[in-house]
Amino acid sequence: MKLRGSWGLVGNNRIDNYKYMSAVSVKPTYVFGNNVVNGAHFNAANSDMRWETIGMFDIGLDLGFLDNALNLTFDFFNNTTYDILMELPVPGLYGGGRPIQNAGKVRNRGWEISANYRFNTGRVNHFVSGNISDTRNKVLDTKGTIWIEGSDVNTIIREGYPVRAYYAYRWDGYFQNDAEVAAGPHLDGITPKPGDIRYLDKNGDGTIKEDDDRFVLGDRFPHYTYGFNYGFNWNGFDFSMFWQGVGQRRVWLRGESVEAFHNNNEGPLFDFHLDHWTPNNPNATYPRLTVGSESANNAVKSDFWIQDGSYLRLKNLQIGYTFPARWMNKIAVKNLRVYASGQNLLTISNLKGGWDPETSDGGGRIYPVSRVFSVGVNVKF
């Protein structure tokens, strides 16, 4: 058994040159009669800027059993980044822009467990290994400032939440009839129809507005990332396979990757669009089919478009055979092995449309990973 621990501070010096100095620029500023006269302008600067600092803590435990045939490793870490450089808002009366300040603080905390085991059953030699890990981040301090970013996908930086967490409306089923439409709530400036998505009215004022009714909807990062490897050797034959996956991830897909008739008929239709809302299919998994301005209600940014991105993938599988040395010595060959392998042979995922579950936010507009099959020969003379 081995107990490990470490603590340290690391500085981030990736700061643009001379950001601590106020630069002077000269540009046309004043008009005297018919003449334009240049003026000198000074940008805001902070002479007290310093490096960002990461405080890193890790504690681990290594265990070996059965003459180290079975090994287990546990790790826990807690990293906090201090003095993150930010442009905090300043009063408009200041008139000098926003100087960069050491104002932010973010924590990353996580753990990892791994194990490997080698054993024999008769003449078969087995090896098994696996690992699982998770990391969570949290914004601890931004001096009360909130940033909302993105176009197709909106994210938010706010104290108490993950960095760039999803920020959107929550969907609340579909309007089933005209009476429900009349009862609301409605998006500001949009009148829905039966079959359209209904959104939660966060503040209860009867109108859905960006400033009042959006929610922080969790983070975009993969959680519970895991892998598993197994193989064996027997009488010249060898076999190995590697599985990998993510236990929890939320993926926000947009555009033609999920929307029927995106951009007015330019987008494709997928099999999951067949289960769309109609008066005879009120429990559909997709709202009514719409084109153009009729899509205004359903196309707004909400968690309706955020999907389960967890997956399990058979990343690699290989089988081979090494010919006996007594055979190879007769033909002056030291070693001869033939093998066949495949990559990305199987992916189990709940993501609609067949998109790669590792796709980026707003994505889906890329081809899924390709299956690759190969055969080969290794010869040593």
pLDDT tens-digit map of 292-303: 888 999 999 999
Q: Check residue 305 and report its DSSP letter.
A: G
Q: What are phi and psi of 305, to 5 degrees?
A: -95, 0
Q: What is the pLDDT of residue 167?
A: 96
Max avg pLDDT among 95-99, 126-130, 141-145: 126-130
Residue-averaged pLDDT of the chain: 91
Q: Check residue 302 and report its DSSP letter.
A: B
Q: Check residue 321 and report its DSSP letter.
A: E
pLDDT digit string, tens, across residues 69-86: 999 999 999 999 999 998
- Identity of the residue numbered 335: N
Tokens standing for residue 377 = 């020969």
Task: Please indicate whether residue 209 or residue 334 has the higher confidence score (pLDDT).
Answer: 209
| CB-based contact 43:27 (threshold 8 Å) | no
- Report the alpha-carbon distance of residue 285 to residue 260 in Å, rounded: 13
- Report the alpha-carbon distance of residue 252 to residue 258 in Å, rounded: 10
Q: What is the pLDDT of residue 266?
A: 63
Is the confidence at residue 67, as pLDDT, over 80?
A: yes
Is the confidence at residue 270, as pLDDT, over 90?
A: no
pLDDT digit string, tens, across residues 311-329: 999 999 999 999 888 888 7
Is the confidence at residue 15, as pLDDT, over 80?
A: no
| CB-based contact 254:245 (threshold 8 Å) | no
| CB-based contact 232:125 (threshold 8 Å) | yes
**Which residues are CB-neighbours of 76 under 8 A, at least 6 positions away?**
58, 59, 60, 110, 111
Q: What is the pLDDT of residue 21?
A: 85
Q: What is the pLDDT of residue 143?
A: 92
Q: What is the pLDDT of residue 83?
A: 92
| CB-based contact 51:13 (threshold 8 Å) | yes
Q: What is the pLDDT of residue 328?
A: 80
**Which residues are CB-neighbours of 83 under 8 A, at least 6 positions away?**
50, 51, 52, 53, 102, 103, 104, 105
Is the confidence at residue 267, as pLDDT, over 70?
A: no
Is the confidence at residue 137, as pLDDT, over 80?
A: yes
- Report the alpha-carbon distance of residue 278 to residue 244 in Å, rounded: 40
Task: Give residue 172's pLDDT band: very low, low, confident or very high (50, 70, 90).
Answer: very high
- Report the alpha-carbon distance of residue 80 to residue 282 in Å, rounded: 49
Max avg pLDDT among 29-43, 185-199, 355-369: 185-199
Q: What percent of the chain has pLDDT over 70?
A: 98
